[in-house]
Structure 1
Amino acid sequence: MTAATVTGPAAAAGEPTYRILLIEDDLGDALLVEELLYDTGLRYELITRPTLAEARTALAGTAIDCILLDLHLPDVSGIDAVAAVRALAPHTAVIVLTGLSEAQAGTDAMAAGAQDYLVKGKVEADLLYRTVRYAVYRSQTERAGAEAQAARLRAEENARLERGLLPQPILDTSTVTVTSRYLPGASMALLGGDFLDVVEGDEGLLHAVIGDVSGHGPDAAALGVCLRIAWRSLVLGGHRGDDLLHLMERILIAERGTRHMFATCTILTLDQKAATATLHLAGHHEPLLTTPEGTRELTAAHGVALGIAPELRSWPATVLALPATGALTLYTDGLTEGHNGATKERLGVEGLLALIGNQPTADPAAHVDLLIKEANELNAGRHTDDVAVLRLDWGTRPTRP
């Protein structure tokens, strides 16, 4: 039977349309249910299927609000029928149709997950009306509760991951302003494998890292947390440059196990007294330098991503002179890989620089928030990769040795 919207003679104004699937192999009983539905005054679309197998196809292709289920089908019967339907449509209201002699079957069906039951031969239009409406309402309420619980669990998991991926900077005497942001790759998604951190060493130098573990989901996030903690511990232990990256790579290889995962990262050491920044790029792109004259991408030597070719150990250093006032912005590629508006082209670094050029730069936090917002809007909210941004601002003219 093809679904079509039917309005009973007593339908109230504003009545919602219920999409109803009747699973019934007896043509007489199916016709009786259809006549009763018409007399209820409900607005409905009715699909009738004689077997569970055919109902499975209907459920796969159509959103259903309510299922009227006969307990005696050619391919399944009894409580097994309820369990099978609930497995196919766990958030759809199920009303069981029982026979006059099956006094216990209805309550057993509700214990198995049905919202309600009706006894054939004792159903009138007003009873069917109330039962369908209440069953759909209860099902929607249960679904909303399940979604709210899932959202709470995701929020709690994100909070735990955020503590590992986005720690509080360790700053003692540094006057550098640190701004960090993280945006998951999809709405309500768990944080992924991007990570960042900033610590001030005993020598007064400021050390920063930003990185991106390949892949998405909890495995990437766990490895990102591991690398972030390893970086902080190694930096505070005095490791620097290619030695630091070599140890991080060893940890990555040990922690990834049999999974073919790698990580890109940038490590930076900012020396305010010497007015220099030392960069090591491990498969990562260059940071951006903002001065009163504007923003540009830095030029730096590139090294291999961690975990790609462990035998190379090639991460050359680049030492850059810093202006008296400025900012360095480190970011992951989720910020630039989205579409540039309606075009099929990626935003890229040039598009990112164009966005920055049109923004006020007085407030670093507002600047980063606006940059992420505009990049996401250009991509029409389709960002699928995590976005991490770390900005370091300084404004006091360094004392050169």
Structure 2
Amino acid sequence: MTVAGEHVPDAPSGPPHYRILLIEDDLGDALLVEELLHDTGLPFHLTTRTTLAEARTELTTSQADCILLDLHLPDVSGIQALTAVRTLAPHTAVIVLTGLSEAQAGTEAMAAGAQDYLVKGKVDPDTLHRTVRYAVYRSRTERANAQAQAARQRAEENARLERGLLPQPILDTSSVRVTSRYLPGAALALLGGDFLDVVEGDDGLLHAIVGDVSGHGPDAAALGVFLRIAWRSLVLGGHRGEDLLHLMERILIAERGSDSLFATCTLLTLDQRAAAVTLHLAGHHEPLLTAAEGTHEVTAAHGVALGIVPGLRSWPSTTVPLPAAGALTLYTDGLTEGHNGSNGDRLGVEGLLTLIENLPAADPAAHVDRLIQETHRLNAGRHSDDLAVLRLDWGDLSPRW
């Protein structure tokens, strides 16, 4: 059955194995190709277009496994025709159709990216069968190899960014146990702009940060790395609190590629000897404090995100007493902004606290892993935001944790 340039052979069931686009302006040659395809025994769906313009429209709306291309079309000819088709469908097998006097054109076409070429008038069903099958196989293999290479490159880029976003804590005498986790927002995705770090200063205090650059992708990740490294350098240089955040904001403004980028963060200074923690919130949410009686959100004053109102310098501090044994958990929005099951509601802090309360006893690392797994389970595959979690444990919370 042929209708409007398309042929769909009768088949018992299922889609055709080969979606073939024939670009040929000679209706006689097009009919011969169609008859040869029937004789090959290949299951196929054939679409015929007579110009590059028609083929362009076809390729923008549907995919093809193989393109049979005549090099002499009304609107383009020669290698330019092949180049144009390859640009439109870079991952599709292209077989060039040449005339009897154009043997050189076939080899030139293969050098320019065609999978193979066939000489009109010298093609039999067996040759066409073999050529189409091998061309599609080679094209699919090349595509798979390209995808594998791209995945390797993404993994290598992720590893480089991860080293910048998730450094080894600098701990000298501190007995605080550090657990950190980072997950990008989608499978195979580049890391985003979430970052965290922990450093013990010369004053014996433990300093930590969790932050989140607005947006996703390499620009946000690069800015997150800048801010994380700047924070570590400034902390080791003795900068603290509002002064530290002011300098980080100056660095953000200097390094961001767009005025729309900003960053939120929570700064934490833990003094085990004084059994207290000092917090500065720059547009970020409060950490969670875990003690023997349970987990709750710390109440702390809020300040403005970095880069939103440059020069405002509104970052009040909050000092909170700590139990002899406990844990502080800092995190980014990816942990709470997912869905809370099938009801469509967001998990939120209250939902997160309920999850923590119901999790079985475990060591800090296993507890964080189970918490992340449970939030993903409730979100049912809808996880889209990057996620960073930093947990600091001191004393002995067993047997509950």
Category of TM-score, reference length = shorter chain: over 0.9
Shift of 1:294: 2.0
Q: Note the 1:2-401 alignment, pairs <5 A.
A: 5-6=8-9, 17-256=17-256, 258-396=258-396
- Distance of 1:112 and 1:364 partners within structure 2: 58
Q: Runs ≥4 in structure 1, deviation > 3 angstroms?
A: 1-5, 13-16
Per the TM alignment, residue 396 of structure 1 is displaced from its structure 2 partner at its CA by: 4.9
Tell me the alpha carbon deviations over residues 131-151 of structure 1, each in whole angstroms, 9 at most, x when there is no partner.
000000100111111111111
How far does residue 300 in structure 1 lie from its aligned partner after superposition?
0.8
Alpha-carbon distance in 2 for matches of 1:35, 1:257: 58
**TM-score scaled by length of structure 1:** 0.94
1:2–1:297 distance in 2 versus 1, CA, 3 Å: farther
Q: Secondary structure of 2:73's match?
A: coil
Q: CA separation of 1:4/1:259 partners in 2, compared to 1, >3 Å: closer, same or farther?
A: farther
Give the match's secondary structure for 1:90: coil
CA distance in 2, matches of 1:81, 1:342: 52
Shift in CA distance, 380/57, structure 1 to aligned 2, threshold 3 Å: farther
Number of aligned pairs?
394
Corresponding letter in the other structure for 2:254: A
In 1, Cα distance between equivalents of 2:258 and 2:215:
14
The answer to whether the 8 Å contact 1:196/1:388 transfers is: yes
**Structure 1: stretches of 5+ with no match in the other structure:** none
Q: AA paired with 1:28?
A: G
User: 1:197 touches 1:228 (CA, 8 Å); kept in 2?
Assistant: yes
* Superposition deviation, residue 386 in structure 1: 1.0
Question: Structure 2: any 5+ residue segments left out of the alignment?
Answer: none
CA contact (8 A) 1:7 1:44 kept: no
* Cα distance in 2, alignment partners of residues 21 and 203 from structure 1: 72
2-structure distance, mates of 1:172, 1:396 = 20
Q: CA RMSD in A?
A: 1.9
Q: Distance in 1 between matches of 2:240 and 2:182?
A: 26
Identity of aligned residues (%): 79
The alignment partner of 1:101 has SS state of coil
Q: Is the 8 A contact 1:265 1:282 kept in 2?
A: yes
Quote the Cα distance in structure 2 between the aligned partners of 1:354 and 1:59: 51
Does the 8 A contact of 2:5 with 2:49 survive in 1? no
In 2, Cα distance between equivalents of 1:4 and 1:346: 50
In structure 1, C-alpha distance between the alignment counterparts of 2:250 and 2:305, rounded to whole Å: 12
Q: CA deviation at 1:6?
A: 2.6
Tell me which moved more, 376-385 or 113-122.
376-385
Q: Which AA in structure 1 matches 2:283?
A: G
| Structure-2 separation of matches of 1:361 and 1:282 | 33
